Chain A
Amino acid sequence: MSFLRSFADGLRALSRKTQAEKEMDEELRGYLDAAVKEKMRSGMSEEQARRAARIEMGSMEAVKEEIRTAGWESAVETVWQDLRYGVRILRKDPGFTLVAVLTLALGIGVNTTIFSVVSSMLLRKPPVDDPDRLVMLLSKAPAATEWGADRRPVSAPDFLDWRAQATAYSGIAAASSVEDTVDFTLSGGTEPERVPGNRISANYFQVLGVAPVLGRAFLPGEEEVGHDHVMVLREDLWKRHFGADPHVLGCAVKLNGENYTVVGIMPDSFRRMWMFPAQLWIPLAFTPAQLGPPARRSRALSVFARLKPGATESAARAELITIATRVAAANSETEKGWSANLMTVQKYAIQESSASAALMFLTAAVGMVLLIACANLANLLLARNSNRQREFAIRTALGAGRFRLARQLLSECLMLSLLGGGLGLLLAVWGLRVLRPAFNWNEYSVLVAEMLSIDRPVLLFTLGVSVAAALVFGLAPAFQISRRDPNVGLKESSRSTTAGREHHRMQNLLVTGQLALSLILLVGAGLFVDSFVEETRLNRGLNSANLLTASVSLSGTAYQDPGRQSTFFQSVLREIESAPQVRSAGVTSDLPYTFPGSANVTFEGRPAAKPDERPSAGYFAVSPGYFAVLQIPLLEGREFTPSDNARSSPVAIVNEAFAQKFFPNQNPLGRHINIENGNESSNSQRWSEIVGVVGNVNEFLGQVAPRPHVFEPFLQRPNGSVNLVVRVTTEPGAFSGSLRRAVWRVDKEQPVTSLRTMDRVVQDAGQGDNVMAELMGGFAGIALLMAAVGIYGLISYLVGRRTHEVGVRMALGARRGEILLLVLRNSMSRVCLGAGIGFVLSLALPRLVSASFEGFYHVHSGWILAVTLLAVILVALASCYVPARRATRVDPMTALRYE
């Protein structure tokens, strides 16, 4: 009731403002008159009485202001007043406004840009129904220390056991896991195409809660062997390959040479399930061999489950672990030490992306940039406030409360900040445009680039950051103003000899902090840039210049025979080498600087290791002359030759890391090993003789410890899915067309994909290290620039304030050099303090960074620290020197007369 009345009164007061003001005047005048009359009655003269009454009342304006602020409507009004006044003030000083808004725009812009990346990488929910209730059921490996030990794929028998026993879910589905994602060759349409696909259980889409845009998902019966030749396409594949023809539904399409009926089309949004990059799906049908006890060892399924309404994540996890323990107890041979784990799909995706560390560093960096920007702003405002002291003093004398003044100042800050935020948003739009093409090192990064946008969360973030920034840089100056004694402000001449100590301490503190922050940022950036330069400069173990690579995967029944595969690639190599610009060409199952398949190795004459501790190595099958093509040095023994073929005795080549790990201080040549690479049945013991040792080549850029690798002759272990490497005499990219045609001259049904130069392969293996180095470097540059501007501004201001003092000193005989030293010494002391603090804090950085990134080089961290410290001090010195020199130019006469 009374709230309503107050509301109505307030509205009335707002609408009849002049009327209310008039009545207030009248009432107060009446009060004064009554007081005078009363005092006259007690014997004062009229003049005395009037004077006494006035003194008792105090400032009439102050009383009025008190009355006005007693109602809520005054708040609305003063905000409006503040805004209008703020606009006037800001327009009066366009130079200040411009510098402030630009500084803020830069600070907020970089934050918005990086937040957009964070948002698209970490905050996007997977494109499924109610994503928070969709969890992944995972195996947990016995060795908990291993990377990703708590999120391993699941074996088929485990999946079936879990599905039969768990009660916390409304549905459980499986898909062949990422490592097992099959590349299918899809015929029909315009060109043969190789696309990634998943085998899925029939209820997969139902559990995910995604409906087809056309047709249907799989039926339960289609999980059975014999009924499983049906397929679902992703919308973009359907559009690309079949021209979005709806009649493709119900048609038989050749997949790996077999007929599959298309039954449904799934929405494009599935692309955002980047951790499961399937473009087509076929049913997951288990053969009896896949369900036997030994199959528990092959953990290759991604298992999705939807929590029942009411079921909690922790309860479901507890239940799952109980089931897994029971299963493990019943199958102790294969499941010893294994357990289970559960996490939401989103959390799984974030861990899988392993970008969190990089994003954390970037976020910290842009946060520091914004803090430095805020420090600059605060310093600008403090300097400006002291020029506005008289204004504030007068306003206080006229009845403005301290709170009111502080609020006025804060609303000016808010306006600056919002302007800066708006401009920062534009900057971010530009920043994203620059950033997008740089995200190109793999499919996932390209997808992230597509998702980068200024959407609602990003807009909210920018607004929030702008407001927060206004509070950060506005509070100190506002607080300072509200504490100042107006009497001093009125009395103090606008150019006093030395200004109050109080706010100089604040300004010094800000500059010190700024310097410390920019030093930390520079050291961080230095580390990233150095690591990137180092890893690109590092001996790659091969000569990547003039090399073109391409991927070919043979499909169709015609190539199921290994002999046929071998002949095919031999013909292709002959075709390629017949081109005049080709120097040599080879074939490998996996390219260098990618992650190869793994093989278990046993050694002749040594006891067999336990199943879970068997030595393993990266596995490659390569053609004769492959090492010569890549110019990987042959350290000992010989290369494979064409006579190492299916009819000759098996041979192998190992890399240096392999030799050092498994044959320390021994000659590996002539030793025999058994290589088991998963493709073959494990029973066949086949001893291969080691005939050569080659140099190490990394699997990713910046790898510190090379992994053991083992190579077999392609002619002895042919493979349908390989990479071609071609060394040409010209620019390698220009050869792409000829390479494609060479393959098609042998068989025009075979798709040729991933045409990349070797340089590009190596660059992609950096997984965005170049982007990281560039971004960090850019942010550190901005930070240093801002800090320099900040110091320059502060010293100029201080020098300006001391013009009079300098004049006096010079009049008394001080020399220019002495004045210069005086100013420099004064400012350099805080510069050194700031740099020193920053230096000490950054001592921890090299270790922090290398702990967060695998294969991070910090060979030069000592140098970087030293050089950065020097650079910061020099830049600061330069920014102090210019205004300090100006001080020495002061003409003593002018300075003294200036008062």
Chain B
Amino acid sequence: MGGQSSELVQGTLDMLILKTLALEPMHGYGIALRIEQISRGVFRVNPGSLFPAFKRLERAGWIKPEWRPTDNNRRAKYYALTERGRKQLKAETAQWGKQITAIARILEA
């Protein structure tokens, strides 16, 4: 475990998953890997929080699961962003931006 990996900010995992899926549908490990890579290893998401989050998002109707065949003759569960998910992502990103600016202002003051 890398020394610089850190806990996710509370409540941001959902947003990160939505953002990751905004480009293309992915399966569970792909999402985890993408988050890790893009954050340069700062965020590592373990399956214990990742999969419950999928279930939550799916129940909320923001992502949609789909079984797709993989190269080695198996199938994998891919998740795709729904239209409502896209809206949710937009809203959350806007909200997040506001919060970041506010926090930055407080820290710089």
Contact = CB atoms under 8 A, between A and B. Distances in A.
Interface of A: 1-2, 5-6, 9, 23-24, 26-28, 30-31, 33-35, 38, 56-58, 62-63, 66-67, 69-71
Contacts of B47: 28, 31, 57-58, 63
A686 to B, nearest CB: 95
A724 B29 CA distance: 101
Given A9-B59, A71-B59, A30 B27 contact: yes
A34 B30 contact: yes
Interface residues of B, number: 23
Contact of B56 (A35, A62, A70): A70
Nearest to A27: B77
A379 to B, nearest CB: 37
B74 interface: yes
B48 A66 contact: yes
B33 interface: yes
Contacts of A33: 74
Interface in B14-61: 27-30, 32-33, 46-49, 51-52, 55-56, 58-61
A31 B28 contact: yes
A63 B48 contact: yes
A19 to B, nearest CB: 12
Contacts of B33: 34, 38
B76 interface: yes
A66 B58 CA distance: 15
A67 B55 contact: yes
B65 to A, nearest CB: 9
A67 B77 contact: no
Output the residue of B27, B29, B60, B70 with the most chain A CB within 10 A: B29
Given A57-B46, A66-B48, A66-B49, A30 B77 contact: yes
Contacts, number: 67
Nearest to A5: B61
B46 A2 contact: no
Contacts of A35: 29
Contacts of A58: 46-48
Contacts of B49: 66
Contacts of A69: 52
B48 A2 contact: no
A2 B59 contact: yes
22 contacts: A1-B61, A5-B59, A6-B60, A9-B59, A27-B28, A30-B75, A31-B28, A31-B47, A34-B28, A34-B29, A34-B30, A34-B33, A38-B33, A56-B46, A57-B46, A57-B47, A58-B46, A58-B48, A66-B51, A67-B52, A70-B51, A70-B52
Contacts of A23: 77
Given A5-B61, A6-B59, A30 B29 contact: yes
Output the residue of A27, A58, A67 with the most chain B CB within 10 A: A27
Nearest to B53: A70
A30 B74 contact: yes
Interface string B68-79: 001000111100
A603 B109 CA distance: 95
B34 to A, nearest CB: 11
B54 to A, nearest CB: 8
A48 to B, nearest CB: 16
A70 B55 contact: yes
Given A30-B29, A63-B51, A71-B55, 4 more contacts: A9-B59, A30-B77, A66-B51, A69-B52
Contacts of A38: 29, 33
Interface of B: 27-30, 32-33, 46-49, 51-52, 55-56, 58-61, 70, 74-77
Closest 7 CB pairs of A and B: A34-B29, A70-B52, A70-B55, A6-B59, A67-B51, A30-B76, A27-B77
A66 B60 contact: no
Contacts of A9: 58-59
Nearest to B55: A70
A808 to B, nearest CB: 45
A1 B32 CA distance: 29
Nearest to B76: A30
B102 to A, nearest CB: 28
Contacts of A24: 51
B27 A34 contact: yes
Given A6-B59, A67-B52, A70-B55, A31 B29 contact: yes
Nearest to A67: B51
A28 B28 CA distance: 8
Contacts of B48: 58, 62-63, 66
A56 B60 CA distance: 28
Contact of A30 (B28, B32, B58, B59): B28
Nearest to A72: B59
B46 to A, nearest CB: 7
A67 B47 CA distance: 9
Contacts of B58: 9
A38 B76 CA distance: 16
B51 A28 contact: yes
Contacts of A31: 27-29, 32, 47
A829 to B, nearest CB: 47
A284 to B, nearest CB: 72
A9 B54 CA distance: 13
A9 B58 CA distance: 9
Nearest to B74: A30
Contacts of A34: 27-30, 33, 76
Nearest to B29: A34
Contacts of B30: 34
Contact of B51 (A1, A2, A26, A27): A27
Contacts of B74: 30, 33
Nearest to A57: B47
A27 B27 CA distance: 9
Nearest to B52: A70
A396 B43 CA distance: 27
Contacts of A6: 59-60
B61 A2 contact: yes
Contacts of B77: 23, 26-27, 30
Output the residue of A1, A24, A31, A34 with the most chain B CB within 10 A: A31
A56 B52 CA distance: 17
A61 to B, nearest CB: 11
A562 B61 CA distance: 97
Output the residue of B48, B58, B74 with the most chain A CB within 10 A: B48
A9 B63 CA distance: 14
A76 to B, nearest CB: 15
A71 B57 CA distance: 11
B48 to A, nearest CB: 5
Nearest to B72: A33
A216 to B, nearest CB: 67
A33 B29 CA distance: 9
Contacts of A56: 46
A62 B47 CA distance: 10
A58 B30 CA distance: 18
Nearest to B77: A27
B5 to A, nearest CB: 11
Contacts of B70: 30
